[in-house]
Amino acid sequence: MLCSVGYHLFCCHRSEKTSRRWMALDYAGISIGILGCYVSGVFYAFYCNNYWRQVYLITVLAMILAVFFAQIHPSYLTQQWHRLRSVIFCSVSGYGIIPTVHWIWLNGGIEASIVQEFAPRVIVMYLIAASAFLFYISKVPERYFPGQLNYLGSSHQLWHILAVVMLYWWHQSTVYLMQYRHSQPCPTHEDHL
């Protein structure tokens, strides 16, 4: 979030180069936030399964590294790549559905108590993220009230508020999952999975 604050403070700098550097840091901050959500979630979801934990952690780290390398490309911050940037971040974020579904399957399906306890937290996180993205992409409400929301209430501000709410929600969910994993021993039937 500090990278985003820096971007919004210095994006109007006289130097376009400085503005683009701060924009790159803003995107790097988004990537780090996504990585933080993944690492904690994957680590504790697959806490009892070393193999799948390592597979998903390496996959997530590789994806984030690919995003960082894409950000180095000279055209990355141009308007022509705006749609591609959105697709990249949506793909990286959406990938989380794969380990979530796999985790549900490994734990015995949606009837399992651990799944019923923690899967709704993942769903809420994705709902908050989706609503934030919808505000970001649709430019609502300023689309309907042009010039009236320049200082307070713009879609970008709503996006930032929802991003903070989502990160806070995921932090609380991860703490809850961590406490559960540290208080409950790993079942022995998962050793072979």
**pLDDT: which is higher, 11 or 128:** 128
Query: 188: which DSSP letter?
Result: G
The pLDDT assigned to 189 comes to: 62
Amino acid at 169: W
- For the beta carbon of residue 39, count every other beta carbon within 10 angstroms: 16
For 12-40, the pLDDT digits (tens) are 667 888 878 888 888 888 888 999 999 99
d(CA 85, CA 76): 7
Exposed e or buried b for every residue in 128-158, given b needs 16+ CB within 10 A?
bbeebbebbeeeeebeeeeeebeeeebbeeb
pLDDT in tens, 114-123: 999 999 999 9
- Cis bond before residue 146 (omega within 30° of 0): no
pTM: predicted TM-score of the whole model, two decimal places? 0.87
